[in-house]
Amino acid sequence: MQDKKELIQKVLNVFETGSTKGKYEQLVIYRDGIDDSKQITFGRCQTTEQGNLLTLIEMYVECEGAYSDDFVPYLELIGHTPLHENKPFKDLLILAAKDDEIMRSTQDRFFDDVYWAPAIAWCERHKLDLALSALVVYDSFIHSGSIPMFLRKRFIAMPPSKGGNEKTWIASYVSTRHQWLKYHRRPILRNTIYRTQTLINEIEKNNWDLNTIPIIANGIPVS
Whether residue 192 has pLDDT greater than 80: yes
Helix (H, G, I), strand (E, B) or coil at 167: helix
How confident is the model over 138-145, as a mean pLDDT? 96
Show the domain range for 106.
2-222
Please give the pLDDT value at position 2.
77
pLDDT at 164 over 90: yes
Residue 51: its pLDDT value, please? Answer: 95
This prediction's pTM: 0.93
Whose CA is closest to 175, among 204, 217, 146?
204
Q: What is the pLDDT of residue 183?
A: 96
Please give the mean pLDDT across all residues of the chain.
96
pLDDT single digits (tens) 50-102 = 999 999 999 999 999 999 999 999 999 999 999 999 999 999 999 999 999 99
Number of domains in the chain: 1
User: What CA dihedral angle connects 156, 159, 165 and 166, to 10 degrees?
Assistant: 120
